[in-house]
Amino acid sequence: MTRSSLTKSGSNSGSREKTTADRRPLTAVKNRVQGTVSRGQGKTDRGPGTGDGQNHFTSEIVKRTTVLNKPHNNPVKVIHFADLHLGMENYGRIDSKTGLNQRVVDFLKSFNFLASKAIEENVALVVFAGDAFRNQKPNPTLQREFARIIRRLLKEDIKVLLLVGNHDLPNMDKHANSMAVYSALEIDGVYVANKADLLLIETKHGPVQVATLPHFSRSQITAYLKEHDIESKGKTLSELNDLMERTVEGFVKGLASRVDKSLPAILVAHISVSSATVGNEARSILMGNELTVLPSVLQQPEFDYVALGHIHKFQDLSNGNYPHLVYSGSIDRVDFSEEKEEKGFCLVSLARGKTTYKFIQTPARRFVTIDIECKSEDPTAEICSICEKTNLEDSVVRVRARIPARMKDQIRKTEILGALSHAYYVAYINIEAVGEQVRTRNPNLTESQTPIGALSEYIKTREDLLERKEELLAYGQKLMDELMQRKI
């Protein structure tokens, strides 16, 4: 396995040599094409005071004039994954071995599985489509664990492209994104993309063009429009959406026009596509707070594969057209909304005009919902029996039982917990009482009533008792008399 490209990242070995002769002529081109990327060496548009989040949009068109090396004949093997969300800790305890939350261990396990697959399959490039951590401020432990896996890939001469997603973005433009340390260190083989750009990455299987479209918030696009004197005021919401979608389309077409058609090209984007099926992660999309684009905006023929991130469900939106337009989904389950989803990543065989891919499942944590409609006279036993019979090994489980309201007090939760002891984690047990009559308070029943007066009012409301009214009142009076006597 060649380690030739690890010139800067490897400090523990002096014996590595640059062997790839075909790499040299590309360097100049590479730097030019990458000019707008925040890798430190990109000097082209890093004006004074520009932080990591600034110049989010590509501001110049870099034209390549140098003739590139011929691509290799074989396809380039690429892994596309997204939405790692390292640091999600719901439904997890601290793992005593590692000191990490078990859910973090789960996500790392899936990520390591991906790295092993990349090595085993001799992958040349790993494309990450955004949202590395739960938020933009991952703690040092999470950063270390993430870096360890990136290092595993680099050691095998696998190039890594990290696209900035919404969860990676700082609140302030001048602050760093969650993966900015990789650009600050200028680690050879790692590319952090925080703006619309076209990169040329020389992999061990040949050159690959990667067009990058990080997450854009509506306010960023509004600012962009303002900067470019495009009027966005006074428009209706739908007119504004159209304008924003056209703006993104302009970015994509601009990138597509720069693609060298003799080489394979990928578009990687962290964005929501209107035809996608969304889960919990996308509440803001459904609520219209987020920019959404049509598949056709991204599915430009200049590209051979469109690697999407943001939506956690794996899905191919290409609708029979070329190139494939794919959400790889997240590599592990974040919550119950992802219970039924397959989790994994895409192994792409990238070749000009004939790219294919397959979905590979990760060993993601199982989530299981047990829904029970109780019918028997002992709902606890009924719930326990179903829980015991369900395969809950290594699973996060929740129980949702519906029981007749009159039995509500009979539920023994400790017994149900016992019946779930073979699960990895019990999220919750929810008992819903059904058929409970909604009683409205009779306005005539007040504290100023005598007990017998109150009983009389009550009987009036009960048709089934009315014919025995006198009898019931007599018994009631008798009881009251006895009570009064005892008191005395």
Minimum CB separation of residue 105 from Mn ion in Å reads: 22
Query: Applying CB under 5 A, which of residues 87, 138, 165, 323 lies at the interface with Mn ion?
Result: 165
Query: Quick one: which segment of 205-213, 303-311, 399-407, 412-420 binds Mn ion (CB under 5 A)?
Result: 303-311
Q: Is there binding between residue 30 and Mn ion (CB under 5 A)?
A: no
Nearer to Mn ion, 107 or 424 (CB): 107
Q: Is there binding between residue 310 and Mn ion (CB under 5 A)?
A: yes
Per-position b or e across 180-213, b if 16+ CB within 10 A of its CB: bebbeeebebbbbbbbbbbbbbbbbbbbbbbbbb
Strand-pair category, 159-163 with 125-128: parallel
Cβ contacts of residue 432 below 8 Å, gap of 6+? 400, 401, 402, 403
Q: Is there binding between residue 131 and Mn ion (CB under 5 A)?
A: yes
Minimum CB separation of residue 131 from Mn ion in Å reads: 4
Residue 306 backbone dihedrals phi, psi, to 5 degrees? -115, 110
Nearer to Mn ion, 136 or 166 (CB): 166
Nearer to Mn ion, 108 or 129 (CB): 129
Nearer to Mn ion, 39 or 215 (CB): 215
Minimum CB separation of residue 411 from Mn ion in Å reads: 39
Question: Nearest to Mn ion by Cβ — which residue?
Answer: 310
Per CB under 5 A, which of residues 32..91 are in contact with Mn ion? none
Minimum CB separation of residue 81 from Mn ion in Å reads: 13
Nearer to Mn ion, 39 or 310 (CB): 310
Minimum CB separation of residue 443 from Mn ion in Å reads: 54
Nearer to Mn ion, 154 or 298 (CB): 298
d(CA 413, CA 398): 13
Strand-pair category, 366-373 with 395-404: parallel
Nearer to Mn ion, 31 or 217 (CB): 217
Q: Which amino acid is at 143?
A: Q
Closest CA relative to residue 270, chosen from 220, 231, 320 = 220
Minimum CB separation of residue 82 from Mn ion in Å reads: 8
Minimum CB separation of residue 310 from Mn ion in Å reads: 4
Binding mask 260-299 for Mn ion (x = CB under 5 A): ----------------------------------------
Number of residues that bind Mn ion (CB under 5 A): 4
What does the binding site for Mn ion look like in residue numbers (CB under 5 A)?
131, 165-166, 310
